[in-house]
Structures are given as C-alpha cells and as structure tokens.
Chain A
Amino acid sequence: MPNRPPADIAPSEITPRALFNRRREFLQLSTGIALSGIIPAAEAKLGPGKPSPYSTTETPTPLKHITGYNNFYEFGSDKEDPAQYAHTLRTRPWSVSIEGLVKRPKTLGIEDILRLAPLEERIYRLRCVEGWSMVIPWLGFPLSSLLKQVEPLGNAKYVEFITAVQEDTMPGIKSRVLDWPYTEGLRLDEAMHPLSIMAVGLYGEVLPNQNGAPLRLVVPWKYGFKSGKSIVRIRFTELEPRTTWMNAAPREYGFYSNVNPEVDHPRWSQGSERRIGEFLKRKTLMFNGYADQVAQLYSGMDLRKKF
C-alpha cells in the first residue's frame, strides 16, 4: 500500500515557498522564451505538475546539488563533469523507439511523449550505490503509460533501456570506461509498477541535461545507476538483458540492484548513506524506504543471490 499523505494537503505545503516562486518566475521566463521562438512551446508548459501520493514529504535536496553532483559517465567520470560538459547535449529533435517483443513497434517524438500523460510531481528519494542519497522532486509520468503504447507480446518478460550516444557532444564516449551505449533493464512487472516513472523535469522545470534530458527513467527503490538517462530506445525481451554495469563488473552489479542494506558492495558498505547536505549518516532502508510498495514483487526470491 502506498503511504498516502492526507488528501487535503495543499501542494504549497509540500513545496517550499521559494521554490514555488521560482517556478512562477520560470513559467514567466519560459513563456517569454517560447514566444520569442527559441525553444518549442511544449517546454514552456512543464508546470509544477500534479502532486502525487507517492511523493515523500522529506525536504528536497537543493537544486544546485542535484545538478552539480552527477554520475553520467558519457560526460566524464568525475561527479562535476556532467554539469560542466552536458550543456552541449542535443535534446531536440529527440525520439524514442519502442521495439522488440511488441505488437506494434513505434517511434515516438519527444513532443508526443510529453503529451502522453499529465505530468506529475514525484518527490522521490534517490540512493546511489556509492553510499550517498538525495531527495529529488521529479516531474514526469508513469513509465507504464509509455509502455502501454506498444502492446507487449505475451512472451515479453523484460524491458531494456538504451541511452543516447552522441560522440561529438559526449567527451566520455571516447574514454571507453564503459560499453556504450549505456544499457539498463527491468523486469516487466517492475517497469509497469506505478512508482517507475519517466522524468522529463526537475523542480518544476525542464530536466537539465546533466540529469538525463530530455527524458530519463526513475526507479526509486533501486540504486541510481538503474535509472538510465537520455533514453533513445526501449526494447521488450524474453531473456534478462545484460546491463552495462553487469558487463563492467559482474561480481559487483547484479541485474536487480535493489537498494538493500543487507547486501554489501565490495567498495561501499550499504548499511548507511550520507544524505547530501547532511553531516551525520542515515541508516539505509530496505528498497530505499519503498518496501511497502514493492517488496511483493520479490516475494520468494533470495535477494542475496539476486542482488
């Protein structure tokens, strides 16, 4: 059962006032830009988003940290690299091809994707495998509403997410630290779970490039690397896809990669985490605190083996 906040809670109580004001400024600003024809009008409409019962009431991490401390290896392996280099990423035109074991494969333009479903604000915890965490107010829509566009076939059991490679804008591609394109995957039921979203915005604004513009996956009960950025292809498969990190270090990264304080990583113990902006560490929660919603997906599985 989702932890539903009381229904009468006003969005303004969830969102800090300064943020609310900033959004209004942004809307004014972006309308101006849209009118002047610099960016497509669709972008101006990214609004505050409908509040969601899935949102946490924890205080969101400041925007400068969410946009200044990223793992996006296509732009370099230091956490400051994406903020420095990702501004060159071309996010228009953009399309996502949905293919594999589906009745009607489709290629959808980003403008159409943005109209698929009303945008919601989902304030989620994000836990990185490296032992830090943030609280991020995403703007997005359920992944299921995208996947339903193509009618998966009966034998489709997994969904593979393939992300963009732009050699000329991504300095990290040449370094070959990982196999490109960066690929991730989910089991179909995980992908269809209402917590899984496609994010297109952050703090009510268009998703910054370093956070995976123009659209990225967000699966809040798994370590951050499962949530692929700048997605271009989605493939339904019968067999478990091999992900980039599984190829890079099979002993360290499993397919599931659910946040699990009991299963340690050889480099980082997973029992605790540092919330960005906090001094003391917090205990890491099973499934990143989303156990009520997702634990039943894994009933009967040995999560030590299926890590």
Chain B
Amino acid sequence: MNPAWLKPPVFIASLLPLAWYLWGVQADTLGANPIEAVTRGLGTWALNFLLITLTITPLRKYSGWAWLVRLRRMLGLFAFFYVVLHLTTYLWLDQFFDWMAIAKDILKRPFITVGMTAFFLLLPLALTSNNAALRKLGGRRWQKLHRSVYVIAMLAVLHYFWMVKADATKPLIYAVLLFMLLGVRILWRIQERRRQQAGSYSPKPPQRVIPLTVKR
C-alpha cells in the first residue's frame, strides 16, 4: 500500500481538533470558561497524539501494514504541534506572559514542572524529525534519542494525574493505555532476549532502524 495518498487526509484529520476549538470559541459553544476548555482540549489532544504515535509500531507489527510507519513522523509532529499550542494558551491566556509568575509556577506547581519537563524533552525530538537530522545523527543515535518519547509520555500522564483535583478516572485511562503500549515493547525485548539465549536467534544487522525515509 502506498501511503502517499493517505498523508493528506490524515494531515487534515489531525487539524480537526484545532478547528473544533477555534470554531467553539467563535460560536461560543465551549461553556462558561472557554479559555480553560481550549487549554485543556489542546492538552488532551497533545496526549492523544503522543499515544497515537506510540500505537503505530505495535499496530504495524501485528497487522503487517508496513506503510503505517510512514505516518508516524507526521503524527509525532502533531503531538508537538498540540503541545506548543497548549503551552501557548497557558503562557498567553493564563499568565499573559508574566514571566515572573510563570517561573514561580514552574517551580511551585508540580504538574506544571512535569509538563514543562515533558515539553523540553520533546523539543529535540521535534527538531530532529527531518531526514537531514536523521542522516546526520545516524540511525542508531537518532533512535536512541527518540526513545525518550517513552519518558515524555509517562511525564505527560503524570502531569494529568497531578492536575486533577479528585477524580483521576481520565488520567487513569491514559495510564492504562500507555502501560499497554510500553508493556508490549518490554515484552518484545524479553522475547528477543529469550530467543538470543536459546541460540535460535539470527542477529539482526547492528544498524537496524525502522525504515522511516526509505522510498518505495
């Protein structure tokens, strides 16, 4: 399957959450506190895209749809896109660029500290999400760097947990989903090691990288 024709519709679909909130502000359908609704909505979609991105590899493995991986970079960049918008609503509409208050917030409010950490960890990943960076870093180092997305996703869920006042149902759902997505990767590792130890393992080439840029 050729994903070339798939990219534009996925791109458009990924913009729909943003369109929804922009329309909501315009049409006044976001309730009594639209700024809060937008901040939260964008945060939710940042987390959704992080998890969607992390779903690509397992889905590809179990379905055999190799083309899925060609959507991964775009989805990861959409996660970053929504994080940037989420952060922007906080800096602008919540704090009105009062940098002293923002600094104090980052230091004093644990969920903001964690969110900010996640953002700074996400920056290098976004900056290296291009072929030039991939070539420059070399596949192995690039992959090692991008593994930090697992930590970022955990921080994002923690951010959500620490934000809620009493009812942790929603962050818990995200935690379970993330646990499954990371768990399956741990499982693969264990299986791989077992195979290695059993000697029935034919080592893969050391430069094994998921073919992100290979054109068919």
Contact = CB atoms under 8 A, between A and B. Distances in A.
Contacts of A279: 35
Contacts of B104: 269
Interface in A19-77: 64-65, 68-69, 73, 77
B167 A267 contact: no
Contact of B35 (A266, A269, A274): A274
A193 B22 CA distance: 46
Interface in A242-279: 248-249, 264, 266-269, 271, 274, 276-277, 279
Interface residues of A, number: 27
A266 B108 contact: yes
Contacts of B111: 267
B109 interface: yes
A281 B96 contact: yes
Contact of B169 (A175, A178, A264, A271): A175
A297 interface: no
A232 B36 CA distance: 33
Most buried by A among B96, B105, B167: B167
Interface string B157-177: 000001101110100000000
Contact of A73 (B110, B162, B163, B166): B166
Contacts of A267: 109, 111, 162-163, 165
B214 interface: no
A130 interface: yes
A280 interface: yes
Contacts of A277: 32
Interface in B92-140: 94, 96, 101, 104-105, 108-111
Interface string B65-79: 000000000000000
The binding surface of chain B is classed by DSSP as helix
A85 interface: no
A264 B112 CA distance: 14
A79 B167 contact: no
Interface residues of B, number: 20
A130 B110 contact: no
Nearest to B98: A272
Nearest to B35: A274
B96 A77 contact: no
A269 B33 contact: no
Contact of A77 (B32, B108, B163, B167): B167
A307 interface: no
A79 B111 CA distance: 21
B167 A73 contact: yes
Contacts of A117: none
Most buried by A among B32, B104, B162, B163: B32
18 contacts: A65-B32, A69-B32, A79-B31, A79-B32, A79-B33, A130-B165, A175-B169, A177-B167, A249-B166, A264-B108, A267-B109, A267-B111, A269-B104, A269-B109, A274-B35, A276-B33, A277-B32, A280-B96
